[in-house]
A = this chain, B = another copy of it.
Amino acid sequence: MAPSLEKTIYIGAFVHSKSLQDLEICQKGAIGVGENGTIAFVERNVINPEALREREGWESAKTVRVGENGFFFPGFIDTHIHASQYPNAGIFGKSTLLDWLNTYTFPLESSLSSLTRAKQVYTRVVSRTLSHGTTTAAYYATVHVDSTNLLADICLSKGQRAFVGRVCMNTLSPDYYRDASVADGIRDSQACIDYIQRIDPSAELVAPIITPRFAPSCSAECLRALGALHRETGVRCQTHISENKPEIALVKELFPDSKSYADVYDAAGLLTPKMILAHAVHLTAEEVALIKARGAKISHCPASNTALTSGCAKVRELIENGITVGLGTDVSGGFSPSVLEMARQAIWVSRFVAMNDGDQAKLSTEEVLYLATRGGAKVVGLEDKVGGFEVGMDWDAQMIGLGAVPESGESNLEADDPVDIFGWESWDDRVAKWVYNGSDKSTVAVWVKGRLVHQTSRYER
Contacts and interface: CB of A to CB of B under 8 A. Distances in A.
A177 interface: no
A322 interface: no
A410 interface: yes
Given A348-B306, A413-B131, A436 B405 contact: no
A422 to B, nearest CB: 5
A3 interface: no
A352 B127 CA distance: 33
A351 B306 contact: yes
A370 interface: no
13 contacts: A89-B436, A90-B419, A121-B409, A123-B410, A127-B413, A306-B348, A306-B352, A309-B351, A309-B359, A309-B362, A336-B436, A414-B457, A439-B439
Given A128-B420, A359-B309, A456-B414, A90 B437 contact: yes
A354 interface: yes
Contacts of A335: 436-437
A429 B332 CA distance: 13
A48 interface: no
Interface string A396-439: 00000000011111100110001110101100010011111101
A120 B404 CA distance: 11
Given A120-B422, A311-B355, A94 B413 contact: no
Given A309-B362, A351-B309, A418-B440, A120 B408 contact: yes
Given A87-B424, A418-B439, 18 more contacts: A90-B419, A90-B435, A90-B437, A91-B429, A93-B432, A94-B362, A119-B408, A120-B407, A123-B408, A123-B410, A127-B409, A128-B420, A131-B414, A307-B348, A307-B351, A307-B436, A311-B355, A356-B356
A116 interface: yes
A86 to B, nearest CB: 8
A418 B119 contact: no
Given A87-B420, A127-B409, A408-B120, A309 B432 contact: no
A240 interface: no
A364 interface: yes
| Total identical chains | 2
Interface string A81-125: 000001101111110000000000000000000001001111110
Contacts of A359: 94, 309
A128 B94 contact: no
A312 interface: yes
A123 B409 contact: yes
B336 A409 contact: no
Interface string A330-361: 00000110000000000110011011100100
A441 interface: yes
